[in-house]
Amino acid sequence: MTKKQFDELKQFRYVWPELVKISNSLQRIAEKDCNYGLTERDVKRRNNLEKKALDYAANFGLACYFHRDPRGCALHLITKHCRQYTDGIAVY
């Protein structure tokens, strides 16, 4: 592991808890959407959370897949080379 990779890994450990919070919030929004539907405020909040997750992921050369079905994980981190979201990392 190079020093640059190690430094990125150290930075990522501070971002991971934020990604978990975003994933949990997106999960609750997906449940609400399934059960009751979303208000405009909920849609804006979902969009803001997704943008925040994308920004965090982009800092590490990753992308995000957002799973809006409440039965699964709401956020997956993937590389540009992943063929499907299951090749990535589920953020719980």
**What is the pTM assigned to this prediction?**
0.91
Residue 80's region, left for phi above 0, alpha for psi from -120 to 50, else beta, is alpha
Residue 1 predicted with pLDDT over 90? no
Is the distance from CB of 23 to CB of 29 less than 8 angstroms?
no
Distance CA 24, CA 12 (A): 18
Q: pLDDT for 28-86, tens place per residue? A: 999 999 999 999 999 999 999 999 999 999 999 999 999 999 998 999 999 988 888 88
